[in-house]
Structure 1
C-alpha cells in the first residue's frame, strides 16, 4: 500500500502510451492522463515529506 500511488500513476502513463501509439487519432480526453499521473506523483512526494517531517518532531 505504500507505493500504490506510484503504481496508479505508472498505470495511467502506460495506458496513455498504449492509446496514443495504438490509435491514429486518439480521443483528446486521453491526454488528461499524463497531468493526472504527474499530480498523483507530486502529491505523494509532498505529503510524504510532510508526514516524515512531522514524525521527526
Structure 2
C-alpha cells in the first residue's frame, strides 16, 4: 500500500479500534469518500525500502 503523506495527515492513520483487521479497508473508504482515487496493481515491488513515518 502506498499513500501520499498529505492524504494520511488529512484523513488520519489506521483506525486502531479494529481488532481483527479491516482497518485498511476503512482507511480506503475514508480516502474514497474524501474524493481521492484508489488504484490497484497486481505487480509486486521487490526490494527493501526504509520506513519513514513523518506524522
Larger Rg: 1
Q: Which gives a bigger RCO, structure 1 or 2 (Cα 8 Å, sep 6+)?
A: 1
* TM-score, normalised via structure 1 length: 0.29
Structure with the larger helix share: 1
Question: Which TM-score applies when normalising by structure 2?
Answer: 0.30
